[in-house]
Amino acid sequence: MGKTEIMQYVEDLVERKAFPEFKAGDTITVHYKIKEGNKERIQNFQGVVLQRSGSGSTETFTVRKITNGVGVERIFPIASPFIEQIDVNKRGAVRRARIFYLRDLTGKKARIKEKRIK
């Protein structure tokens, strides 16, 4: 058994939930399950998707939001069992797959145009 065959076997074992299609520039809400001691609760993380990277079970996406004037970025694995659901709030119209330039922008300049649905 080669390295790629083993990776393929492990990827097949990972159960993936069906999430809506989203890409960089979209505003999404990630409902994330958090365990605190023996209690479990769901926390919402709403922000703009900066990038999606990887493929298969190792795919991740980065979400950025501004909290109390401080930019907070969080990287989520798509195959994470802790992600309860993902809601797409807005479809953004951007021309890049990775929109890291958003980190340097503040206020009204950091707004992303909404994609018009035909």
Structural domain contains residue 109: no
Structural domain contains residue 108: no
Question: Residue 4: its pLDDT value, please?
Answer: 78
Could you give the angle at the alpha carbon of 33 between the alpha carbons of 63 and 92, nearest 5°?
25
Question: Residue 115: its pLDDT value, please?
Answer: 86
Give yes or no for residue 19 having a pLDDT over 90.
no
Range of the domain at 56: 3-103
Who wins on pLDDT, 73 or 4?
Answer: 73
pLDDT one-digit tens code per residue, 49-108: 999 999 887 899 999 999 998 999 999 999 888 999 999 999 999 999 999 999 898 888
Q: What is each CA distance from 106 to 17, 35, 47, in whole angstroms? A: 34, 33, 14
Structural domain contains residue 53: yes
Structural domain contains residue 11: yes
Structural domain contains residue 115: no
Amino acid at 57: S
- Here the CATH number for the domain that contains residue 40 is 2.30.30.790
Question: Residue 13: its pLDDT value, please?
Answer: 72
Question: Residue 5: its pLDDT value, please?
Answer: 83
For the record, the structure tokens of 70 come out as 């401080």
Structural domain contains residue 112: no
Tally the domains of the chain: 1
Give yes or no for residue 3 having a pLDDT over 90.
no
Mean of pLDDT values over 21-46: 93
Q: What is each CA distance from 38 to 32, 34, 35, 98, in whole angstroms? A: 16, 10, 7, 38
Who wins on pLDDT, 34 or 3?
Answer: 34
Q: For residues 48 and 102, is the Cβ–Cβ distance under 8 A?
A: yes
What would the DSSP string read from start to end of 37-91?
A: TTEEEEEEEEEEEEEEE--GGG-EEEEEEEETTEEEEEEEETT-TTEEEEEEEE-
